Amino acid sequence: MNERHPAATNAHRDEILARVITRQLGILRLQLELLEEARGSRAGAPALAPEEALTAPMTESQRGLWAVTRLGPDASAAYNETLILRLSGPLDVAALRRTWRRLVARHEALRTAFDIDGRQQRISREASIEVPLIDLAGAGTERHALALASAAARRPFDLVLGPLLRVALLRLAGERHLLLLVIHHLVCDGRSLGVLLAELPEIYRSERHGTPCALPAPVAFSAYGRLLADGAGRPSAQAAERFWLRKLARPPAPLELPIDRGRPPIQTYRGERARAELGAELGARLRAASTAAQATLFMTLLAAFEILVHHLTGRTDFVLGVHSAQRALDAGPHLFGLAIQTLPLRLEIDPRKSFREVVDATKSELLRAFEHDDVHIGRLIRKLKIGRDPSRPPLISVIFNLEAAAAELEWDDLRVAVVAEPSPPARYDAFWNLVVAGDALRVHCTYNADLFHASSVRSWLADYRAILEIAASEPAASIGAVLRRAAAERQRHARHEKSLRKERLQTARRKPVQL
C-alpha cells in the first residue's frame, strides 16, 4: 500500500515540473540569442557597399538622440521601441516573411544606419531581413514568452553597422503566435508603430493571396529631413524658437516627484509599469465636463495631472513634456521615422483657483505650445545653456500623453491584438499615459524603478482617479477643496475595493473543490 501523502506527492511533482520548465526556458532563451546572432551575421552587414548607399544629414531630433546613445549601451537600449502582437488563427509564415521584406523595401528608415561621427545617416538601397520562427510550444505560458521577448528588446543595437530592427516569430502552441518587433527610436517613433499596424495587414493579404497592394507610396524620411532643414530659417521656425526661449528664459528647477530611493549619480533606465482602470462612466463625465469648459479631454486630463503634481511636490511652477505629431502628419499618414516632437510645457498653478480655471489656463498654454511646435527640444537646451546632469534627463523629467487604445485587428483569418510590453524602459522619471477606448479610460504609468516603489506609484494613480472624480462633478471647486474631497473619495474607493476583495475571497471559499 502506498502510504505517501497525496499533497506531498503533488508538491514534489510540481517542483520537478517547475525545474523542467525553468531549464527549457533557459535553453530557449539561448536559442533566441543564437538565432538573433545568426540573423545578424546574414542581415547585419550593409546590403550594399557604403559608396552605393544613399546618405542624408541626421535631423535635429536624431542628433539629439544620438548624443544620448553615446552615454552607453544601457542608454541606447532604453530607446528600443518594442511592438508585440498576439496572432491567433492560421498563420501563413512564408507570407509574413515576404511582408516584412516588402516593408523594409518600402520604408527608408528600416534600411538606415548611421556614421560613427553622428552626422550622416546611411540608407541602403536594399536590405535583407530574417524572421526566425522559434517554437516555444510546451515550454511555458505566454507570460514566459513575453519575458523572453522583453529580454530580447533590451539588447542594444549596433547603430553604425545596422540594421536597427529585429523581428522574430514565437510559436506558443498550435495556431497561437507572438510577433516581436524591436526597432531603435533613431529610426522610429510611436506614430510610426501605428503606421506599421496599419500597413502590415494590407501587405500580408497581398502576399498571401497574390493580389495588388493599394497602399500609396510613403514620403521618404530623407526627403522629410530635407524639408525640415530647408524650413529651419523660416519666419515661423524663428518665431517658435523665440517663443520658447522667452518662456524658458529662467527655467524652474527640475521637477522632482517624491522619490523612495536615492537618485543614482548616473541616470538608470530600469522601468516598471503600473496601471489603473478609470472606467467608462467616469470617462463619459469627464468628456461632458470638457465640452462644458470648451476644452478637449486631453486638456481636462492634463489639468488634473497638474493638480496631482502640485499635490505631490508642492510646486506651483514646473515643466512637463507633451508630444506633438503635427509636422509628421503634414508629411502624410505613411511617413515612417523619428518625427514626433517633445514640447517643454511650462505650467504655473495657483492653488486658489478653481479646477475650471486650471483647465482654462491649461488650454491657453497648450494652444500656444502647439502653435509654436516648429522647434526641437535639443536645440532649445543648447540655446538655454542648460547643463547636463548625468543623473536625470535635461529639462523634462515627466511626460504626459494621451493615446487611443489599439483595437483588435483582423488579417484575413488571423485575430491580432497588441500586447503590452511587461517592463518597458524608463526614459524619464515617469511617463504618464492615458489610454482611451470609447468613453473608457485607463492610466499606464511607466516609472523608473530605481527611484520609486510600486506602492508609491499605485498611490499616485489612486490620487489621480480621486481628483478626476471630484473635478468631473464639481469643476467650480477650488484646488484646495478638490484635494480635500479627493482624499475622502480615495478612502471611500479603497473601502469599496477592500469590500469587493473580501466578497470575492468568501465566494471562492464557498466554491466546491473539484476532485
Place of cell 506527492: 9
Which of these, 255, 217, 182, 232, lies nearest to 105 by C-alpha position? 217
Cell 521615422 belongs to residue:
337
Cell digits of residue 343: 514640447
pLDDT at 215: 93
Matching CATH topology for 16-223 and 264-405+419-506? yes
Enumerate residue ranges in the chain where pLDDT < 70: 1-52, 139-140, 328-329, 493-494, 496-498, 500, 502, 504, 506-515
> Would you state the cell numbers that stand for residue 172, as one nine-digit string?
506558443
The C-alpha cell 553615446 sits at 70
User: Looking at residue 227, what DSSP letter applies?
Assistant: H
pLDDT at 246: 96
Q: Give the residue from 316, 323, 341 showing the smallest Cα distance to 228.
A: 341
Task: Describe the chain by its helix, strand, coil percentages, rounded to 5.
Answer: 45, 20, 35
Residues 6+ apart with CB under 8 A from 509: none
pLDDT of residue 44: 37
> 279 — alpha (psi -120 to 50), left (phi > 0) or beta?
left
In the chain, domain spans: 16-223, 264-405+419-506
* Distance, CA of 508 to CA of 487 (rounded, Å): 32
| pLDDT given at position 42 | 45
pLDDT recorded at residue 4: 46
3-state secondary structure of 322: strand
The SS3 call for residue 163 is coil
Q: Distance between CA atoms of 482 and 477, rounded to whole angstroms? A: 6
Distance between CA atoms of 61 and 77, rounded to whole angstroms?
17
| C-alpha cell, 325 | 505629431
DSSP per-residue letters across 129-147: ----EEE-TTS--HHHHHH
- Contact of 106 with 219, CB cutoff 8 Å: no
Look at residue 31 in the predicted model and tell me its pLDDT: 55
CA 258 from centre of chain = 23
Q: Exposure of 123 by Cβ count < 10 A (0-12 exposed, 13-18 middle, 19+ buried)?
A: buried
* Three-state secondary-structure class, residue 277: strand
Fold of 264-405+419-506: Chloramphenicol Acetyltransferase (3.30.559)
CA atoms within 13 A on the CB side of 259: 15
Q: Could you give the strand order of the β-sheet that contains 80-88, starting from the edge strand earlier in sequence?
A: 133-135, 165-173, 176-184, 80-88, 414-419, 409-411
Q: Nearest 5°: phi and psi at 193? A: -60, -35
DSSP for residue 317: E
477 touches 485 (CB < 8 A):
yes
**Are 135 and 171 contacting, i.e. CB atoms less than 8 angstroms apart?**
yes
- Take residue 478 and report the three cell numbers written for it: 477650488
Handedness of CA 304, 305, 310, 315 (dihedral sign): negative
Indicate the pairing of strand 341-348 with strand 398-404. Answer: unpaired
Residue 322: how many other CB atoms lie within 10 Å:
21
Whole-prediction pTM: 0.86
Give the length of the chain: 515
In this prediction, residue 363 carries a pLDDT of 97
pLDDT of residue 122: 94
Distance of alpha carbon 66 from alpha carbon 467, whole angstroms: 39
The whole-number pLDDT of residue 492 equals: 74
Q: Which of 3.30.559.10, 3.40.50.2000, 3.30.1490.20, 2.40.50.100 is the CATH number of 16-223?
A: 3.30.559.10
CB 64 within 8 A of CB 377: yes
Distance CA 122, CA 109 (A): 10
C-alpha cell read off for 305: 495631472
